[in-house]
Chains A and B, each alone.
Chain A
């Protein structure tokens, strides 16, 4: 500006509806189309649980959790092109304590299963699990491996299985949307005792193996015992 005139806003150019509405206390900024559709009554009648489940299913926080190859496709599902966020469940949380859904993307081996169980335990209820890929169903291509847990369901309850090796991002999106539907309907996999649980070492039934390890492991240390002979 060349002149020494102060800067003056041209009021006629400024859109002021929102401001005016606020100043007069008549704003309808919070009024949704949906609300209008209900007509004159500002109330709706529904069951509390139903409403809450609908809320839950419509906004889920995912645990940012990568294990193996499937997590690469999982990242693609979060990112551009597939953009899981479109369906209201695309916010990865790094901490299990802030997450509702855990996608288990990969092979679970003996050393990792106790950690995965721990991470699952740290998530607040209600929590849900999507098993991604053949590995979480049965061990997948590594089922014969000496060190591989034959499916995530041996350790934690799974709500939705997405088959594939790896499943395409589209398949994962489908799985997550199915989970949302289930959650909205109030369904979840029952929490039952799993073949492999974390327990204190002293609680294990004593046998040859336990005796052998007794001087290596403290009594109150958490352990997981694998009975590979009985796995599927």
Chain B
């Protein structure tokens, strides 16, 4: 691997047992609270930075996946889920209880930049305050919102007021003084280049970007609340389709399925795993195709050639997915313990259609390279712009094609295998450039890898013995995982590590359901790439991040 860090302590990747970790942390640990996926250490709310720094620097836990916060009857709690980029199966949870009446806890932002947004979200939705946080404001809800919607005493019927501050005059006096002559520019929330409803508050100095701040929450649809009010067995599964809605439905469903199956100890039949793997990779192709289409749209600015080509290819995949699942976009195809139905009959026809689709990539990839990557204008706009160094990417918790475009070799399909991926022959794609072009290349090459995976799945499915075509395990009608079991599980979604944290409380609905969205963390890197660059480069960087606002805001 090319990403060896010079300062790496040699025993970084060495797995430590929970007891060794406890010894390492010493007095910092006040209690143990193990989760199904990882050992959990309870610490005091004023030792967060010290604990995380020890784990990061001395034990190599360099990836803060997510901060999930929640309120109990007698306390608040923030959980820091840590992993290693080199081996994501090594996990540890740091549990930080906070006082019920005065929930304050130390911020982890100085240790992990990514904690900035995650803690703002926890403050916004749950109401925990973070000491030492650089900018503790609401992030998803309007700033004038009253109450914290996922806290226990929230009244959902109370009236609320939202403001429209964006009509402020950009040339107002306060942007002009003796030292500076900057201009404030709103990009979005209704703007074709923001891929949805994202708002970028940009401060320009001439044509250069002095500061850009993504303002999100324009599509915050209360996804976590929806999941917390649904039953495990059937009512939650339709929602994942709507997180990353770029046809990445099956990948998202898998995130929920994986977490819930591990929570309730359900074994998925192999045949269903192969179908899942195949469907998920089809989704990945569709998702990457749209990323490519809109990226070309942003860069070349035409609503024609590349866009139409890519949409055409998406239509083909969507046809296959529709044959398989019955829907074009919101598949709702996975069930806990398997998939809802078998391959469409006649199977031969489905297989031959799929093979037709797979036969065509080499040419179409060639076409895309002619259209985009070998286009000089395109290269000028994307090569060496929007650079994201690997260390910065890790600090921000970037995953997926964004991290792999910066040379961070991290792909949960290989590193934390699930489904049928570890039986198949495929490669993780990385590029070392770290610029807009590399991220695009990663996606284009991943499409080819996905095609390889699908092909192997089709081979397997064709020859699968007739009497072993078991699509669903036996799962009880109502699932009631044990009280106070907690789990965090992630899969490789189209945009990166899509993780779910669930806390069960003995009922048939999750007590806390937290979604770790890859786009949320990826989008946070935008200022790093854009500050100091020209405004067209911001658009290019945003396009290459390929965020989907449904998943950023949830």
Contact = CB atoms under 8 A, between A and B. Distances in A.
B242 A198 contact: no
Contacts of A188: none
B218 interface: yes
Interface stretch (A11-19, A32-40, A44-52, A106-114): A106-114
A112 B219 contact: yes
B301 to A, nearest CB: 10
Nearest to A119: B190
A72 B290 contact: yes
Interface in B182-213: 189-192, 195-197
Given A66-B195, A73-B329, A80-B311, A106 B167 contact: no
A67 B197 contact: yes
A80 to B, nearest CB: 5
A128 interface: no
A60 interface: no
Interface stretch (A1-9, A22-30, A140-148): A140-148
Contact of A111 (B157, B218, B303, B315): B218
A221 B159 contact: no
A115 B161 contact: no
Q: Which 3 A/B pairs are nearest by Cβ-Cβ distance?
A: A145-B222, A69-B245, A79-B311
B353 interface: no
Interface residues of A, number: 58
A110 B226 contact: no
Interface of A: 64-69, 71-73, 75-76, 78-81, 92, 94, 96, 106-107, 109-116, 118-119, 141-142, 144-148, 165-166, 168, 198, 201, 204, 209-210, 212-213, 216-217, 221-229
A73 B328 contact: yes
A181 to B, nearest CB: 26
Interface residues of B, number: 57
B325 interface: no
B292 to A, nearest CB: 13
Contacts of A204: 161
A95 B553 CA distance: 25
B328 A209 contact: no
Given A147-B149, A222-B164, A80 B219 contact: no
A84 to B, nearest CB: 12
A147 B159 contact: no
Contacts of B364: none
B472 interface: no
A80 B167 CA distance: 37
B452 to A, nearest CB: 26
B312 A80 contact: yes
Contacts of A216: 143-144
A80 B482 CA distance: 51
Nearest to A66: B196
Q: Name the residue among A69, A80, A112 with the largest chain B CB count within 10 angstroms.
A: A69
B286 to A, nearest CB: 10
B154 interface: yes
Contacts of B141: 110-111, 147
B323 to A, nearest CB: 15
B523 interface: no
A114 B163 contact: yes
Given A72-B329, A228-B157, A146 B222 contact: yes
A68 B219 contact: yes
A217 B247 CA distance: 40
8 contacts: A69-B329, A109-B221, A141-B242, A144-B225, A198-B164, A209-B159, A224-B161, A227-B159
A144 B217 CA distance: 17
A197 to B, nearest CB: 12
A135 to B, nearest CB: 8
A110 B142 contact: yes
Given A165-B330, A168-B328, A118 B222 contact: no
B167 A118 contact: yes
A111 B142 contact: yes
Q: Name the residue among B163, B312, B315 with the largest chain A CB count within 10 angstroms.
A: B163
Interface in B230-252: 238-239, 241-242, 245-247
B158 A229 contact: yes
B156 interface: yes
